[in-house]
Amino acid sequence: MSGQLTLTKVYNPMNRADHDTITWEHRPGLTVADLLDHTGARLGMAHRDSLTLAVSVDGRAVPANQYATTTLMPGQHVTMIPVLTGGGGGKDVLRMVGMVVIAIVAAYLGQVYAGPWLASYFGGSAAVWGYAATAVMAMAGSALINAELPPEVL
């Protein structure tokens, strides 16, 4: 295996069996950052800057701030594992809170006001009209929130 590196990309950190392993021809001065940049498209990570990765060389973790200075040697094994992160700049949190508020308000207004009013106007059960009004308000409210705070496209 002289003159080559082994690169393993784990796609799902919860299932390490979900991975690809490739060999890469070693060249003098090759760093972890070079390897990630050159193998990105081949391993489905063309946008390395948008991913948070944990990288290890021969089982030892390499901090992200050392990718450009960690020189690789022939025969070494590099493993990349995506790090689960959350976030979205707070926009997703605002969307979630908005959806919860819409669900509560729609349930209250649908059952307390709209259901009895629709039942008195059209006849039938206030509960059934209340459920229908709740569903319509919830759908309209979620559409409004998604229009104002669209989900992040990955």
Question: For the domain that residue 30 is a member of, what is the CATH number?
Answer: 3.10.20.30
Does residue 12 fall inside a structural domain?
yes
- Domain closes at, from 82, 104, 129: 82
Whether residue 153 lies inside any domain: the answer is: no
Same domain, 50 and 119: no
Domain-embedded: residue 116: yes
Mean pLDDT computed over 60-80 = 90
Q: Which residue has the higher pLDDT, 56 or 83?
A: 56
The whole-number pLDDT of residue 1 equals: 43
Kindly tell me if the per-residue pLDDT of 65 is higher than 80: yes
pTM of the model: 0.52
CB 5 within 8 A of CB 72: yes
The boundaries of the domain holding residue 113 are 91-148
Class of residue 109 by CB neighbours under 10 A (exposed 0-12, middle 13-18, buried 19+): middle
pLDDT greater than 70 at residue 62 = yes
In which band, very low, low, confident or very high, does the pLDDT at 44 lie, cut at 50, 70 and 90?
low
- What's the pLDDT tens digit per position in 108-122? 999 999 999 999 999
Q: Name the more confident of 17 and 139.
A: 139
* Residues 76 and 13 reside in one and the same domain: yes
Q: Is residue 48 part of a domain?
A: yes
* Structural domains of the chain, count: 2
DSSP code of residue 150: P
Query: Which residues lie closer than 8 Å to 20 by C-beta, 6 or more apart?
Result: 8, 9, 11, 43
What would you measure as the largest C-alpha separation in the chain, in angstroms?
A: 84
